[in-house]
């Protein structure tokens, strides 16, 4: 009796495949919450260890208890508030004006890749304030969301959508950090660092007593020891991360823009969006200082358009995105100026003080006159 080859199993019907795909996506979404649950469990344990075991059961001085409990709950409240806002603030997506119309989508699908598709995108983007390009000088387009990407907007593979001023996707908050919640993310880092430093500082003397056998042999000893280790460990990692993002704010950059500098029509410019330290800070935190330390939204602008510190070039002098002069003359199409919010516009009407501008002659020309306001035809 001959043994034949085992037949391949029949393919799953479309309904079963769709059901399995839905189950898999739901499982992935649940797994994405594991880091958040880990941070939340650490936070709950630290609350119990500090408030109950350290303050109420170990501290003997009433004044010290009151001061530590009041200060701790202030830091705890600000930490939880900013963390909550970072997690549950929905990332902002490009507005409908950046989405292709039905006719433009059809035209884009009909045209072969290359100059023909770029012509369709140029027509769709002619009324949009788009200053940046791809490395080849083409219009930035997302073929998954079917939209022309605003400046500083990127597609997140985890969220599967385009995010305005995307910085990164953070697994610890299970959310994209972008225009809508970047201020909350910064405050979350700041208050979590202060929270850990406060715990480590006030727990230090009792931690030392633990090693010198100055504490009674109770359950509190182990909570005090691990509380200090955890606070010190998180303080080190948080201080480096917070310092890095403070530097990003001072330069008006995102994490993605550090690894790939924005490309404007005339050249790549890593400091193209930097307006000077003060104005860079106000873009993230807003004009009203009373809201700076609170996790409430106060950032300037709409997330779709940003002022730049670039200056005009001779319109007759065409250039490539890499900054090399081109010998061909391009036909220029001016973008209609899109009005910014008053609070964003006056960033450019104040007395300019751009520390990144090196040539003295350029300082008198700083403003919204961005060379990327002109759309170059591809040759």
State how far the alpha carbon of 99 is from the alpha carbons of 288, 337, 372, in Å. 33, 19, 20
**61 and 184 co-located in one domain:** yes
User: Within 13 A of 61's CA, how many CA atoms are on the CB side?
Assistant: 5
Q: Is residue 319 part of a domain?
A: no
pLDDT at 158 (0 to 100): 92
**69 and 88 co-located in one domain:** yes
pLDDT at 18 (0 to 100): 57
SS3 70: helix
Residues with Cβ within 8 Å of residue 178, at least 6 apart in sequence: 91, 92, 163, 164, 165, 166, 167, 303
Q: Is residue 342 part of a domain?
A: no
Instruction: Give the end of a domain, one of 291, 317, 334.
Output: 291
**DSSP symbols for 187-207:** HHHHHHHHHHHHHHHHHHHHH
**120 and 203 co-located in one domain:** no
Instruction: Give the end of a domain, one of 244, 271, 291.
Output: 291
DSSP 8-class letter at 56: I
What does the block give as tokens for 133?
Answer: 């390009």
pLDDT at 111 (0 to 100): 75
**270 and 223 co-located in one domain:** yes
Q: Is residue 5 part of a domain?
A: no
pLDDT at 7 (0 to 100): 52
Instruction: Give the end of a domain, one of 262, 291, 320.
Output: 291
pLDDT at 165 (0 to 100): 97
Between CA 219 and CA 230, with CA 224 as vertex, the angle to 5 degrees is: 130
Q: Is residue 249 part of a domain?
A: yes
DSSP 8-class letter at 329: P
For residues 220 and 50, give the distance between their C-alpha atoms in angstroms, rounded to a whole number. Answer: 10
Q: What are phi and psi of 86, to 5 degrees?
A: -65, -40
Q: Is residue 344 part of a domain?
A: no
**By the 8 A CB rule, do 132 and 318 touch?**
no
pLDDT at 310 (0 to 100): 73
**61 and 181 co-located in one domain:** yes
pLDDT at 15 (0 to 100): 55
**By the 8 A CB rule, do 341 and 302 touch?**
yes
**84 and 110 co-located in one domain:** no
**75 and 110 co-located in one domain:** no
Decide the pairing of beta strands 154-156 and 147-148: unpaired
**104 and 127 co-located in one domain:** yes
- Domain residues for the domain of 120 are 96-149
**DSSP symbols for 132-175:** EE-TTSPPPEETTTTEEPPTT-EEETTTTEEETT--EEETTTTE
**Which residue positions in the chain have pLDDT lower than 70?**
1-18, 20-21, 214-216, 311-379
**31 and 71 co-located in one domain:** yes
**255 and 202 co-located in one domain:** yes
Compute CA 377 distance to the chain's CA centroid, rounded to the nearest angstrom. Answer: 32
pLDDT at 21 (0 to 100): 64
**By the 8 A CB rule, do 281 and 229 touch?**
no
**By the 8 A CB rule, do 149 and 98 touch?**
yes
Compute CA 262 distance to the chain's CA centroid, rounded to the nearest angstrom. Answer: 15
Cite the active site residues: 170
The domain total for the chain is 2
What is the model's pTM?
A: 0.78
**145 and 286 co-located in one domain:** no
User: Within 13 A of 124's CA, how many CA atoms are on the CB side?
Assistant: 27
Where do the DSSP E strands lie in the chain?
A: 132-133, 141-142, 147-148, 154-156, 161-163, 168-170, 175-177, 263-264, 333-334, 374-375
**65 and 133 co-located in one domain:** no
Q: Is residue 303 part of a domain?
A: no
Residues facing residue 375 across a β-bridge: 333
Q: Is residue 179 part of a domain?
A: yes
What does the block give as tokens for 313?
Answer: 């070039």
Q: Is residue 358 part of a domain?
A: no
């Amino acid at each position: 009796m001959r043994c034949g080859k085992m037949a391949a199993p029949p393919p799953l019907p479309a309904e079963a495949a769709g059901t399995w795909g839905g189950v898999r996506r739901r499982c992935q979404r649940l797994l994405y919450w594991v880091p958040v649950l880990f941070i939340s469990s650490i936070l709950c344990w630290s609350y119990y260890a500090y408030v109950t075991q350290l303050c109420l059961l170990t501290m003997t001085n009433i004044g010290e208890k009151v001061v530590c409990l009041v200060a701790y709950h202030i830091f705890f409240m600000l930490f939880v508030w900013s963390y909550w806002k970072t997690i549950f603030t929905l990332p902002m997506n490009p507005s409908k004006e950046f989405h292709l119309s039905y006719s433009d989508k059809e035209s884009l699908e009909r045209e072969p890749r290359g100059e023909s598709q770029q012509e369709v995108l140029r027509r769709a983007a002619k009324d949009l304030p788009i200053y940046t390009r791809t490395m080849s000088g083409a219009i930035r387009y997302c073929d998954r969301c079917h939209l022309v990407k605003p400046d500083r907007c990127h597609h997140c593979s985890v969220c599967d959508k385009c995010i305005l001023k995307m910085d990164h996707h953070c697994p610890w908050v299970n959310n994209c950090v972008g225009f809508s919640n970047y201020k909350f993310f910064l405050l979350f880092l700041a208050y979590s660092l202060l929270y850990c430093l406060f715990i480590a500082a006030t727990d230090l003397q009792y931690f030392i007593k633990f090693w010198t056998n100055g504490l009674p042999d109770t359950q509190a000893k182990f909570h005090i020891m691990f509380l200090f280790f955890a606070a010190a460990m998180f303080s080190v990692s948080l201080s480096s991360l917070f310092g890095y993002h403070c530097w990003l704010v001072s330069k008006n950059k995102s994490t993605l823009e550090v690894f790939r500098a924005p490309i404007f029509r005339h050249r790549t410019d890593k400091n193209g969006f930097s307006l000077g330290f003060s104005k860079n800070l106000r873009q993230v935190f807003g004009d009203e200082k009373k809201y700076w330390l609170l996790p409430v939204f106060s950032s300037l602008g709409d997330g779709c358009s940003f002022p730049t510190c670039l200056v005009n070039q001779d319109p007759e002098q065409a250039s490539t995105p890499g900054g090399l002069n081109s010998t061909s003359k391009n036909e220029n199409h001016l973008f209609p100026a899109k009005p910014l919010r008053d609070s964003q516009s006056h960033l450019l009407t104040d007395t300019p003080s751009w520390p990144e501008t090196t040539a003295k002659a350029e300082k008198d020309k700083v403003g919204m006159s961005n060379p990327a306001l002109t759309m170059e035809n591809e040759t």
